[in-house]
Structure 1
Amino acid sequence: MSRARILIALIKLTGKLSLRRAQRMGSALGALVARLPGRARTVTAVNLAIAFPELPAAQRRELLHASLRHTGQVVLEIPLIWEWPVQRCLELVREIDGEDLLQQAVDNGKGVLLLAPHLGNWELCGLYFSSRYRMAALYSPPSLPDFEDYMTRVRGRMGSELVRGDRRGLARLIGLLRNGEVAGILPDQSPRGAGSAYAPFFGMEVRTMTLVSRLLQKSGATPLMTVCERLPDAAGFRLVIRTCEAGMADPDPVVATTALNRSVEACVRRIPEQYQWEYKRFRHRPRGEADPYRVDRSCR
């Protein structure tokens, strides 16, 4: 059996859990990771020291443990979002804050670019919006080619169009936005090579995607931030929609990426424990700057 088939079988098995059971198991898994030496714990500690230098060490340790527990929860929640019936998933959204901003942009005939950071449960964001609007979402092909068909099928159950992040896919996304439709993108990944600029994120200059500004410039769409915030005690999620910092469509890539990072940062600061701090977001810095994850090396 291929690795993709094994992974799909595990997802289907996990998808039989209740939300409460999945979150408890995920939290326990994250708590274990937080106690053992390893990459996730080390990277999270480095990131939190960069982002919150003003916090006492004890508070940062508490945030580290909380963050990894939430990461464990989202790992076990995603199989539920992919395998549960759609209506059961949508019922997990208990509160909605700011949907009028999205509806107003749609009513004005403009396309809407929804920016969903790796915060809370971003998979539920996509499912919710695709159930109410004609929507497209940008994605990167998984490392397991046999897994791609499954992933795009479950994400597209409500008719969402899954668009690959290549030249053809981006052209398709621009066309959809120009036609007044809704598109979604994860804006806080560290890009490689071209299509980036350096901009501050939590006070550190990091490589940031210019894709968002290019999409906005070419389509005239309205950008909005969105987060599916995890509520305590398996109570479900609060869907939050917010306006973005001004300047995200500026032709100056530094101005645009600075606005993007500020918008992401504002969301993260609301619920920092629900952000994926174990991702090496600060690894790509200007040439010659120290690599925060390998202090004996400089960035190239």
Structure 2
Amino acid sequence: MNRIGFAFLVALLRMFAVLPYGLVARFGALLGACLYAIPSRRRRIVLVNLRLCFPGRTESEYEQLGRAHFRHVVRSYVERGVQWFGSARDIEQLVQLESRIDLDDPNAPPTIFMGFHFVAIEVGCMLYSMKLPIASLYTPMSDARMCALARSQRGRFGADMIKRSDSARKVLKLLRAGKSVMLAADMDHGVENSVFVPFFGVPACTLTSVSRLARLGGARVVPFVTEVLPDYQGYKMTIFEPLADFPSEDDTVDARRMNAFLETQVLRFPDQYYWVHRRFKHRPEGVPAVY
């Protein structure tokens, strides 16, 4: 992205931050529906993922779900305006928080807050960083300007942003000091430090980092999910109870448990999971590619 294009994008996001949320959200949803009508690589990835994970549906049902997902995805990019440039008060007013653990417990053990890539994950992470000190992992973007912008705005309420490639030693140091770390392990980052376990019955290359870090750092693992509420009412962030008997001594068992928990949440609002990601990019040996 050149300098002019980047400046225009930042100005656009700042404008979205001051416009009424409902207007911005409706614009994003409309733009997503329009973009879905144009054949693209991302639309094809979405439909491949939906056919793999929800076999037996009609083509009309796949198209309907794919279009709804595109509306949510593009809308989430537009809503980065208020998430990155809106005030803390703006975000707090948009997000309902339901926690099944005591977030104010001074004696809480070191915690890994395990997120999942639903379209509203960004705003949930930012809300949490306002409540308590947290470190959060990120994957660098290909564009250096966008990467610097995302890192600074995601960390503007005090979150310590840690690059995923540098994370293991830093995360362990934080956990052993009793701190909390927020990470997501539901994307395909390659076969290293991963295992193939089912996700909706399809072998998915799944990171084992959550269970390994929890084991070495003596941390509990607390899942959280942020969902988009209907009728443009904002979002809801749910922080669940810690996973029981987690981690075990078997990384494969733990990875399957993570995916099983994620499946229960995807079924609640399937159009909001990040189907544009190539979740099945890597395949077990001898299994054909799907993209």
TM-score by length of 1: 0.89
Q: Is the 8 A contact 2:100 2:241 kept in 1?
A: no
Give distance in 2, aligned partners of 1:247 and 1:68: 37
Query: In the alignment, what sits opposite 1:63?
Result: 65
Q: Partner residue of 2:204?
A: 206
RMSD, aligned α-carbons: 2.0
Question: Match of 2:128?
Answer: 129
Q: How does 1:48-87 map to 2 (within 5 A)?
A: 48-87=50-89
> CA offset at residue 71 of structure 1?
0.9
Label 1:253 to 1:281 Cα distance change in 2 as closer, same or farther (>3 A).
same
Aligned pairs (5 A) from 1:173-188: 173-188=171-186
Using the alignment, how far apart are the partners of 1:192 and 1:102 within structure 2? 35
Task: Give the Å deviation of 1:243.
Answer: 3.7
Q: Deviations over 1:174-199 (max 9, x none)?
A: 22222332211122110124111111
- Can you list the C-alpha shifts for 1:174-230, whole angstroms capped at 9, x where unaligned? 222223322111221101241111111111111111111111111121112212211
Q: Which residue of 2 aligns with 1:46?
A: 48
Q: Which residue of structure 2 aligns with residue 157 of structure 1?
A: 156
CA distance in 2, matches of 1:206, 1:41: 20
Cα drift, residue 269 of structure 1 = 1.3
Report the secondary structure of 2:77's partner residue.
helix
Find the aligned partners of 2:102 and 2:185 in 1 and give their Cα distance: 18
Amino acid at match of 2:79: E
For residue 37 of structure 1, what is the aligned residue in structure 2?
39
What's 1:114 paired with? Answer: 113
Corresponding residue number in structure 2 for 1:146:
145
Distance 2:130 2:209 in 1: 25
CA distance in 2, matches of 1:210, 1:119: 20
Q: 1:54 to 1:42 in 2, by over 3 A?
A: same
Distance 2:154 2:258 in 1: 25
Match of 1:215 among 198, 213, 216: 213
Cα 1:48–1:245 shift into 2, 3 Å: farther
SS in 2 for 1:91: helix
Q: How far apart, in 2, do the equivalents of 1:284 and 1:137 lie?
A: 25
The secondary structure found in structure 2 opposite 1:200 is: strand
The residue aligned with 1:101 is 101
CA distance in 2, matches of 1:11, 1:173: 31
Q: Secondary structure at the match of 1:163?
A: strand
Counterpart of 1:263 in structure 2 is: 261
Structure 1 residue identity aligned to 2:152: R
Percent of residue pairs identical: 28
Q: One-letter code of the match for 1:207?
A: C
Runs of 5+ unmatched residues, structure 1? 294-300
Q: CA deviation at 1:276?
A: 1.5
Partner-residue secondary structure (3-state), 1:15: helix
**Deviations, residues 229-283 of structure 1 (Å, cap 9, x unaligned):** 1112221111112246656523322112111211222221111111111111012
Moved more, 179-188 or 197-206: 179-188
In structure 2, do the counterparts of structure 1 residues 25 and 178 end up closer, same or farther at CA, with 3 Å as the change threshold? same
- Residue type of the alignment partner of 2:281: R
Question: How far apart in 1 are the matches of 2:146 and 2:47?
Answer: 32
Please state whether the residue corresponding to 1:224 is helix, strand or coil.
Answer: strand
Alpha-carbon separation, structure 2, partners of 1:8 and 1:142: 16
Count of aligned pairs: 289
Q: Give the gaps of 5 or more residues in structure 2.
A: none
Give, in angstroms, the shift of residue 114 of structure 1: 1.3
The one-letter code matched in structure 1 to 2:154 is R
Counterpart position of 1:225: 223
Q: TM-score, normalised by structure 2?
A: 0.91
1:239-258 to 2 correspondences below 5 Å: 239-243=237-241, 248-258=246-256
What are the Cα deviations for residues 31-53 of structure 1, in whole angstroms up to 9, with x where unaligned? 11222211122111111111111
Is the 8 Å Cα contact of residues 111 and 221 (structure 2) preserved in structure 1?
A: yes
